[in-house]
Amino acid sequence: MSVQGATSPYYDPYDVDINADPYPAYARLREEAPVYHNERYDFWTLSRHEDVEKALLNWRTFSSTRSDILDIIKAGVALPPGVMMFQDPPSHTKHRGLMARVFTPRRMAELEDQVRAFCIRCLDPLVGSGGFDIITELASMMPMRVIGMLLGIPEADQIAVRDKTDANLRTKPGKPMAVREENIARGDVFSDYIEWRSKHPSDDLMTQLLEAELEDDSGVVRRLTRQEILTYTAVIAGAGNETTGRLIGWLAKVLAEHPEQRREIAQDRSLILRVIDETLRFEPTGHATARFVMEEVEYYGTTIPAGSPILLLLASANRDPRRYAAPDVYDVHRDDIQHLTFGYGLHYCLGANLARLEGRIDSFELSSELPWTNGLLERFRRDDDAACDTSPGAGDGMCDACPITSGATSDDEMFVLRGTRLELPE
Ligand code: HEM
């Protein structure tokens, strides 16, 4: 049900029409109802940048312990222990500290050559083709391969592992996610690998998790249990697949729609990191994160009662004119791009550097590897006929395949040799 024309603002993260372009709804919320209650599903939202940013820091009032996904909070199911997204301090501090010790910037950087080789392997056969589906050929493959490299999952099994992990987070168009307690952060699919790794240590993350020590809530320093390792592994696989895949899809679409900036990037590769962050600000791959309100709190004269679920609208905050000049304009040159797409504060995304690395390699190779033409990239389009089974506002709603496809080609602009030479028509 879409009621954009009604007198009071309306926002519903399950509404397929609103999700097709949620930005007008966000603008109305920010201006007319910066604290908003959705009566149909009984949840609250905050939409202004300052409010969202402060709420992300204030874990005593806005707790993660009931999950950071609205549907799971509302389902009220018991959550498995050890999932750091579903924790507040002090438990979160311990689990995050352990993960940060094994999930280091150095480990991410070491993957760069492998990631690049995989990207080139995907794109090479497509050189000279009339077009391809970026989601099928690259975005749905790359994050899964990278997580597989990180964890040490054999390549032959990676697709099956991704599909099982994603299936637990899938939504149907227009509907909240059907939450099943037994499916939350369940890592069963990894148990055979963990068993095998325990007998065949390597230099991958799974081996490090097997060897890592944690001081538990009773102060005892011990190795992780197998169940905890399964949970950690499931968290990484669940958090890093779809999010990064969508970033790759949006990069292609946004660059296709901004040919001037695309040409600048092709000429000046130092802009690529800005491209990633401006794309994350402009088209975040997850639109919101949820919290549980622990104590009543007042915003703009309205009281949000204790016990309420609340959505912090990251995507709306990213387009708040109080924070960004001309927020609806895509501009890789803007100062201070800092967005909220990776969250903020104690739950700030642990995989942010890895996601940036993948995005950087993809945009570099995409803009240099193929004989792109103005026609080709500009015709990347989202296929509106295909129903997109996602509810981005709900947090981690999943999408089968946002079918961004490419159209016909012409030969007026040629990118030749990976990143080294660019030929443009006079
Ligand atoms: C474009 C890609 C990505 C986006 C937009 C993204 C977004 C986010 C956001 C918004 C949060 C905070 C959630 C909250 O506050 O409730 C988060 C947390 C997290 N992300 Fe990511 N993520 C991405 C990629 C990745 C990757 C590639 C990995 C790992 C392989 C990863 C692992 C994690 C983990 C472990 C957390 C939990 C941190 C904590 O609770 O302390 N993410 N991510």
Residue 306 has pLDDT above 70, yes or no: yes
Q: Which helix (H) or strand (E) holds 421?
A: strand 421-423
Q: What is the distance in A from the centroid of ligand 1 to the CA of 384?
A: 28
pLDDT at 186: 61
- Ligand 1 neighbourhood includes 390 CB (under 6 angstroms): no
Tokens of 314: 């990251």
Exposed e or buried b for every residue in 407-423, given b needs 16+ CB within 10 A? eebeeebebeeeeeeee
CA 4 – CA 332 distance, rounded (Å): 31
Can you tell me which atom of ligand 1 is nearest the CA of 345? 15
Mean pLDDT, the chain, as a whole number? Answer: 79
Q: What is the distance in A from the centroid of ligand 1 to the CA of 113?
A: 23
- Ligand 1 neighbourhood includes 185 CB (under 6 angstroms): no
Tokens 């090479």 belong to 124
Contact present, 259 and 321 (Cβ < 8 Å): no
Residue 395: pLDDT band (50, 70, 90) is: very low
Residue 350: pLDDT band (50, 70, 90) is: very high
- Ligand 1 neighbourhood includes 341 CB (under 6 angstroms): yes
Report the length, in residues, of the chain: 426
Using alpha carbons, list the distances in angstroms from residue 220 to 209, 217, 253: 17, 7, 50
The domains of the chain, with CATH numbers, are 16-423 (1.10.630.10)
Q: Residue 379 CA to chain centroid, in angstroms?
A: 24
Q: What is the distance in A from the centroid of ligand 1 to the CA of 249?
A: 18
Residue 376 has pLDDT above 80, yes or no: no
Alpha helices in 268-422 (DSSP H): 272-282, 314-317, 352-369, 374-378
Residue 3 has pLDDT above 80, yes or no: no
- Ligand 1 neighbourhood includes 286 CB (under 6 angstroms): yes
Read off φ and ψ for residue 405, nearest 5 degrees.
-120, 160
Residue 27: pLDDT band (50, 70, 90) is: very high
pLDDT at 421: 24
Q: Which residues neighbour 145 within 8 Å (Cβ) at sequence distance 6 or greater?
A: 115, 118, 155, 158
Q: What is the pTM of this model?
A: 0.85
Alpha helices in 35-125 (DSSP H): 49-57, 70-75, 91-102, 105-110, 112-123
- Determine which residue's CA is closest to atom 41 belonging to ligand 1: 347
- Ligand 1 neighbourhood includes 234 CB (under 6 angstroms): no
Mutate to test the pocket of ligand 1, among 280, 349, 362, 396 (most ligand atoms within 8 A of CB): 349
Residue 131 has pLDDT above 70, yes or no: no
